[in-house]
Structure 1
Amino acid sequence: MDPIVEVVALILGFTGWVMVGVALPNRYWKVSTVDGNVITTSTIYENLWMSCATDSTGVHNCREFPSLLALNGYIQASRALMIVSIVMGTFGLVGALIGIQCSKAVGENYVLKGRIAGTAGVFFILQGLCTMVSVSWYAFNITQDFFDPFYPGIRYEIGEGLYIGWCSGVLAIAGGACLTCSCRVAREEKYNLPYQARGTVYSGPAPTRSVVASTYGRNAYV
């Protein structure tokens, strides 16, 4: 596989991994809507860990969620998926640094490098999928409450933290797909070696028995 493609895939995976780390502590996963309000004195915004409020003077006040078990199930699941995403991205980043062709690790064994790069690509894909599921599930609950006419609580809109998460998932999946292809290409190169006979290189398929018999005669076989 082209080393440039591997480097681009590594950059995409690394960028996606960094953006997961940015999205996870971001406070603006959902922001209270101003739709239908003539005068807005305060804005409430939340993420997976805390709820914050700011008034018209710019004063911020945040409090962490007091109990894990008292949270909604989708918030707990989103927390777990985001943490798993970071772990998968870490494994993928380490594997990609070892498996790319320009790396000095593992020596000149390019077949092994391709397999390591392919495994790293799988980790990046899992990272992207975990991130996409987490932020999409969170966004689904926001939109469901927003359009529910009987919802009695505060209506929220999608915040910037979810957009960062979506971008992170797309980059991680794209980088992982490129690295996974490197494993397949390396395996094909292993089994498509040129046929050698008597010091000559024959790039086509191996000669059949009849061709060899006509060349060397019947006494060549017992």
Structure 2
Amino acid sequence: MQTHIYICHTDEVFGFLISTLGWMFVSCTIAMDNWRTTYVGGKGGNWMIKALWYWSNLWKDCITDTTSVINCRGYDVMWEVTPYVQGVRGLLMIGMSLGFVSAILCFIGMDCTYIGGSVKIKDKVLLSGAVFHFVGGLSALAAYCLYTNRVASSAFAPAVDRSIIRYGIGTPIFLGLVGSFLIILGSILYAVTVIPKRMMNAFTPKTPTASKSHGQRTARKTLYSSAYYAVSRPSRDPSQSSSSHISWISHFTEDKISARDTFV
């Protein structure tokens, strides 16, 4: 009975840990505050009254004063939200969906799991999961870059109206960027465990096929059978005596059967 030993490669373990940590970072940033933030006031008077903190995330705009009172305005209607915020939301949702599918595929395709079928099928499943991880990480990275570009373009735009609030980048952006790079790194580690294996199988010289060996065995069996039936077939010529017939059989047996004995 043939037993299979399931051992995880180091690259697979690190890929699983790093990609999972990256998706945890990305999922946390969706619910975090202070995607963009700025501080106004505190100069030329009583800062305890005049200082305000403006901050926003993907779901609301808020103001916090020095007494820690928070006033927020939620994005109630979807079509009234700024278009770039909608784009960031969509990219993150796409990335999270791909990440969920890729986590399942990579778990099935890992060498240390008992599901997924043969080794060849598990390699294909693992490579598919790595591709989904990579595309999901790029989608999340594009979302954070889009939000950062919008905040930076507003902050460094020429001054036109002093009522325009110039925001800075908050902590969730940096956490999301780190998570996106971790996801991409995890997908590369997954792919490293599969691609070299496929390349080695592609360039490995193939052994003689079963059909050729079967053909050789068939030819040898045919030779043995023909020799056997040739010996056992009696002579039909009545002019031959029994002694000549026996000598012919012995002569054939020495030449042909010896080849059979050598083969056996």
Are 1:114 and 1:186, in contact at CA under 8 Å, matched by a contact in 2? no
Q: In structure 2, what is the equivalent of residue 21 of structure 1? A: 27
Residue 30 (str. 1) matches residue 36 (str. 2)? yes
Residue 103 (str. 1) matches residue 109 (str. 2)? no
Uncovered stretches (5+) of structure 2, i.e. residues with no partner: 1-6, 209-264
Q: In structure 2, what is the equivalent of residue 60 of structure 1? A: 70
Query: Equivalents in 1 of 2:36, 2:113: separation in Å?
Result: 42
Aligned residue among 35, 55, 60 for 1:50: 60
Are 1:20 and 1:131, in contact at CA under 8 Å, matched by a contact in 2? yes
Match of 1:24, SS? Answer: helix
Q: In structure 2, what is the equivalent of residue 6 of structure 1? A: 12
Are 2:137 and 2:183, in contact at CA under 8 Å, matched by a contact in 1? yes
Aligned residue among 139, 142, 151 for 1:142: 151
Q: TM-score, normalised by structure 2?
A: 0.68
Query: Equivalents in 2 of 1:132, 1:188: separation in Å?
Result: 30
Q: In structure 1, what is the equivalent of residue 201 of structure 2? A: 190
Q: 1:20–1:82: structure 2 CA closer, same or farther, 3 Å change rule?
A: same
Q: Which amino acid aligns with 2:99?
A: G
Between Structure 1 and Structure 2, the one with more helix by share is 2
Aligned residue among 92, 104, 114 for 1:94: 104
Matched pairs, number: 196
Q: In structure 1, what is the equivalent of residue 139 of structure 2? A: 130
Are 1:6 and 1:100, in contact at CA under 8 Å, matched by a contact in 2? yes
Q: 1:123–1:5: structure 2 CA closer, same or farther, 3 Å change rule?
A: same
Match of 2:188, SS? Answer: helix
Are 2:11 and 2:192, in contact at CA under 8 Å, matched by a contact in 1? no
Query: Equivalents in 1 of 2:90, 2:149: separation in Å?
Result: 17
For residues 160-199 of structure 1, the aligned pairs below 5 Å read 160-193=171-204, 195-196=206-207
The alpha carbon displacement at 1:71 in A equals 2.1
Which has the greater radius of gyration? 2
Residue 82 (str. 1) matches residue 88 (str. 2)? no
The alpha carbon displacement at 1:61 in A equals 2.6
Of all paired residues, the percent bearing the same amino acid is 24
Query: Equivalents in 2 of 1:66, 1:196: separation in Å?
Result: 68
Uncovered stretches (5+) of structure 1, i.e. residues with no partner: 198-222
The alpha carbon displacement at 1:151 in A equals 4.8
The alpha carbon displacement at 1:156 in A equals 0.4
Residue 116 (str. 1) matches residue 125 (str. 2)? yes
Are 1:28 and 1:161, in contact at CA under 8 Å, matched by a contact in 2? yes
Q: Which has the higher contact order (CA 8 A, sep 6+)?
A: 1
Query: Equivalents in 2 of 1:73, 1:190: separation in Å?
Result: 49
User: Which string of whole-angstrom CA distances, capped at 9 and with x for unpartnered residues, describes residues 79-119 of structure 1?
Assistant: 00011111011011111111111111124x22211111111
> Comparing 60-69 with 171-180, which one deviates more in the overlay?
60-69
Q: Which amino acid aligns with 1:47?
A: N
Match of 2:25, SS? Answer: helix
Query: Equivalents in 1 of 2:157, 2:61: separation in Å?
Result: 22
Are 1:117 and 1:179, in contact at CA under 8 Å, matched by a contact in 2? yes
